[in-house]
Amino acid sequence: MMVVTSSCKEGNKIAMDNGKYVRYTPEQVEALERLYHECPKPSSIRRQQLIRECPILANIEPKQIKVWFQNRRCREKQRKEASRLQAVNRKLTAMNKLLMEENDRLQKQVSQLVYENSYFRQQTQNATLATTDTSCESVVTSGQHHLTPQHPPRDASPAGLLSIAEETLTEFLSKATGTAVEWVQMPGMKPGPDSIGIVAISHGCTGVAARACGLVGLDPTRVAEILKDRPTWFRDCRAVDVMNVLSTGNGGTIELLYMQLYAPTTLAPARDFWLLRYTSVLEDGSLVVCERSLNNTQNGPTIPPAANFVRAEMLPSGYLIRPCEGGGSIIHIVDHMDLEPWSVPEVLRPLYESSTLLAQKTTMAALRYLRQISQEISQPNVTGWGRRPAALRSLSQKLSKGFNEAVNGFTDEGWSMLESDGVDDVTLLVNSSPGKMMGINLSYSNGFPSMGNAVLCAKASMLLQNVPPAILLRFLREHRSEWADSGIDAYSAAAVKAGPCSLPVSRGGSFGGQVILPLAHTIEHEEFMEVIKLENMGHYRDDMIMPGDIFLLQLCSGVDENAVGTCAELIFAPIDASFSDDAPIIPSGFRIIPLDSGMDASSPNRTLDLASTLEVGAAGNRATGDHSGRCGSTKSVMTIAFQFVYEIHLQENVATMARQYVRSIIASVQRVALALSPSRFGSHAGFRTPPGTPEAQTLARWICDSYRCYLGVDLLKNEGSESILKMLWHHTDAVLCCSLKALPVFTFANQAGLDMLETTLVALQDISLEKIFDENGRKALFAEFPQVMQQGFMCLQGGICLSSMGRPVSYERAVAWKVVNDEENAHCICFMFINWSFV
């Protein structure tokens, strides 16, 4: 009888009793390999079937077949692990090389700083001695020292352009690998094998500058092709037009480019650039692509600034791409610009003076995009809804581009402004050629036309204070019902369906369920796409043709609170349930940009766990530390743009609706931002409550004292070991307070109470007590309600109540008691629902 071995090293051998190995024949190995690729882990029945179907394996026992497959899987696992370790080793070797180069550069920079320090110390001593010299010559010389020479125009003839190109190359390399710019490490960026790379920002140079170096699994030529196509990876880039191309004697290429960048907000004009781009190969085989502005030239082509654009300057910048041993590339990126901050309101100038923001939006975006492309090539797969990564990336670009076009409203794209209604908070633009604007055809493969022949955009910008953009954006994403109108959502959704649709005249139905269906991370986890399904829970008026469920394609980015200077965006567009490729995308959304780099590194669970932010006292926010000083100066600008497809004869009605809708969104955002503001919770004001109500800490004490008074037991265990409010907030049972009015409304709830009602502290005050009970529950409640006011409490048997979304909630029992204040006057009624769960 044969005995088999489990060795993973020799997959084409079998063992005999005497320990001698007998090899499989090449034909048997070929047959087994073919079967392995069809089914790597066959069952016992499948192995027996294989022996019957393949006569060449007839003399091999099923047990031997089993061991062969085990060994084959083991070898495959070892091969993959070896390949992974080799890739990690190559990456670490290349990263070590980068770090050594960076260390050499830093040593040179230190030496230069030491020399400059010595020089300036000597100059200071000389200046001190010179102060005693009051001669006319000394005064004149001192005055002439600060005169700035005016450079004459540069020659832009072919020979002059080559001279400019070589000069640009030298200056770029001195920034990329030398000490021409004093670089400091980007806050929050730590180099390592899993990091995006080494990222630095400028200190004390003209304009704004950022530098990055990293590893990508693409060859240098492919890297250069991708980086030259700037609109594909730089979302703020509207267009890059190549106006002229010249070849150089050394095999290089000079290109003259005209580039336009979108304005990030409605409060500032867009930027354009007139550029020279020089592509060449160095002696060591490195590929270089460098650029600079041609703002002061003569004897050559030029392009005057366009209307609604401000001509900005790109100082020597570019990409140094070196082949990496073992495959891939080592890339150095330098972005250096003067964005003319004088041309924007003073409050927005930090957007144009921040090297951190430049690094986030441009330099790091290039590295992330390259890494994403490399990953897709090495690991091809199909992601959400059967879309490949390239298709999803294209969709995200369409969303971003459509939103940028709406925010900027360029006249050459067909946009024109409507007259104001006397209040300039919301700007309205119309475009009667949306097909040209979006690059889409508003008709479908089924032959039916779309519902409208024009697009209206309502947009506005607002200044926010004391709320981190990531927290606010995450709230807007997770709690759409707090700001969105379901009727308008339905109206917008009808735009991607064939057939007519009336204007939304009321909230006749409700879209209570929000289901998030993830698609994919499109740019290395920095942004992600998802499909939002809004479930229709009611019926609309007869004069409105509404869909059943609404689907939104949504792009979300900037939700990481720890990232410094990150722009947060939530852009969405209604789509048809079929998600067809020819469906139009009319995006709307929010963009929040921090105006200073000192962002509050608060808890990422703030919107879900408010207990830490509700602690109030002289020491500030005890749970997370008192950040009120830092957060007090946190500012950001939010830009809102919503687009509506409509028929041209309904323009006046749609304009009125759009103004009202955007104004209601602004009001909702302001209310949410105020509720989420960390500085508010670090002060003595407590969380936002209706006028006349106490601070949260005081209310929590009244609730617990009244419970002990009327029921004779403590509501909280180990009371006093930590904050009463924090313990009440985390209580496992739902605790809710309602007002003493003819129609009681809820005024406070702990986390379990908010979860049970499926709401937030902000929206809680819009829910009345009677809404959460059915008819039988209301009758039982109001029959027993006087008992609460007389004896101070009552007990309710188990039953069913409803969440704010209409979902039934069962509870084992409930207790209600009267909450009295320090003067023993009735303040509110408190309910506790015990052992509740959704049915």
Q: Are 619 and 651 in contact (CB under 8 A)?
A: no
| Token pair listed for 185 | 């490490």
Residue 139's pLDDT is what?
Answer: 34
Radius of gyration of the chain (CA): 34
DSSP designation for 194: T
Count of CB atoms situated within 10 Å of the CB of 655: 20
> Is the per-residue pLDDT at 483 higher than 80?
yes
Can you tell me which residue has the tokens 């020399």? 115
Residue 39's pLDDT is what?
Answer: 81
Q: Which range (143-157, 365-379, 619-633, 753-767) has the least confidence?
A: 619-633
CB-based burial label for 424 (10 Å; 0-12, 13-18, 19+):
exposed
Report pLDDT digits (tens) over 391-436: 888 888 899 999 999 999 999 888 999 988 777 789 999 998 755 4
> Is the per-residue pLDDT at 833 higher than 50?
yes
Q: Are 268 and 407 in contact (CB under 8 A)?
A: no
Collapsing DSSP to helix, strand or coil, 560 comes out as coil
Q: Which range (208-217, 533-542, 585-594, 681-690) has the least confidence?
A: 681-690
Helix extents (H) in 529-640: 611-614, 628-631
Query: What's the start-to-end Cα distance of the chain, in Å?
Result: 62
Helix (H) or strand (E) holding 523, with range, is none
Distance CA 688, CA 361 (A): 35
More confident position, 262 or 582:
262
Q: Which range (47-51, 245-249, 564-568, 623-627) has the least confidence?
A: 623-627
> Is the per-residue pLDDT at 378 higher than 80?
no
> Is the per-residue pLDDT at 130 higher than 80?
no
- Domains detected in the chain: 157-378 (3.30.530.20), 409-438+451-537+548-597+634-676 (3.30.530), 731-838 (3.30.450.20)
Residue 336's pLDDT is what?
Answer: 97
| Token pair listed for 295 | 């703002």
Q: How many residues does the chain have?
A: 839
Q: Are 573 and 552 in contact (CB under 8 A)?
A: yes
More confident position, 733 or 135:
733
Q: What is the mean pLDDT of residues 315-320?
A: 96
Report pLDDT digits (tens) over 322-339: 988 778 898 999 999 999
Q: State the pTM of this model.
A: 0.65
Q: Which long-range contacts (CB under 8 A, 24 or more apart) does 290-295 make?
A: 290/165, 290/168, 290/169, 290/172, 290/316, 290/317, 290/318, 290/319, 291/168, 291/257, 291/316, 291/317, 291/318, 292/164, 292/168, 292/171, 292/316, 292/317, 294/154, 294/156, 294/164, 294/256
Report pLDDT digits (tens) over 771-785: 888 777 777 777 777
Query: Which of the listed ranges 11-25, 445-459, 680-694 does the model predict with the highest average pLDDT?
Result: 445-459
Contacts for 672 with CB less than 8 Å, ≥ 6 apart: 472, 475, 476, 482, 483, 762
Collapsing DSSP to helix, strand or coil, 804 comes out as coil
**CA atoms within 13 A of residue 478's CA, in its CB half-sphere:** 15
Q: What is the mean pLDDT of residues 264-288?
A: 93
Residue 541's pLDDT is what?
Answer: 39
Distance CA 126, CA 18 (A): 96
Can you tell me which residue has the tokens 């991708």? 226
Give the DSSP letter string of 310-325: EE-EE-SEEEEEEE-T
Residue 231's pLDDT is what?
Answer: 94
Report pLDDT digits (tens) over 288-308: 999 999 987 766 778 887 888
**Mean pLDDT for all residues in the chain:** 76
Report pLDDT digits (tens) over 141-159: 333 333 334 567 777 788 8
Q: Are 749 and 761 in contact (CB under 8 A)?
A: yes
Q: Where are the beta strands (DSSP E) in 4-128?
A: 13-15, 21-23
Helix (H) or strand (E) holding 667, with range, is helix 651-676
> Is the per-residue pLDDT at 791 higher than 50?
yes
